[in-house]
Amino acid sequence: MKKSFVIIFFFFLISESFASIKSNIIKKLNYIENISFNFEQNINDKIEKGNCILQYPKKIFCRYDLNNKKILVSNGTSIVIKTISSYYIYPLKKTPLDLVLDKNFLLDEISKSESYYSDKNIIAFKFFKDENEIILFFDKKTLNLKGWQTIDLYQNLNIVYLSSILINQKIEKKKFELPSSNLKN
């Protein structure tokens, strides 16, 4: 009898802790309109760094620290990746970034989630939508979004880590206008 009480009590504590973590992450995410951050992106062991501004819903502007002046821009419906010598445009809906940039989707999936991974620094939630698997990482202390993991259009593992996070900064709306395909600087 005593043993079963301890197991039930322990299960209740874990459930309460998980519910509290979910609730606090949802509150924090609800509050966020935009996030500015530095990033480190690992695509199949190729590391790229830069900075981004993410504006909900579904807008992002990233400038990479590369000599080719690479930028990535989403206006909410399309995404452009542009360098000095190349220009690619995709429908945002065809990329996993469509889901990562959709705050309502994230809030819904976190609230429905029955489980998560946690270590001393990170809380992670895994979601599946259509053919996409998304893992979101949150900082355990601040509950800030710390990154995500997806499989990109070309079936590459894409892991993005965020740092130097600023929330709800004043942002120029024109940042999210798609650049022209003119490949001159």
Neighbours of 119 (CB within 10 A): 8
> What is the phi/psi pair of residue 15, to 5°?
-65, -45
HSE-up (13 A, CA, CB side) for residue 180: 4
Report pLDDT for 173: 87
Instruction: Identify the residue whose tokens are 């951050």.
Output: 37
Domain boundaries, the chain: 2-176
Q: Which CATH architecture has domain 2-176?
A: Clam (2.50)
How much is the pTM?
0.85
pLDDT tens string 42-65: 998 899 999 999 999 999 999 999
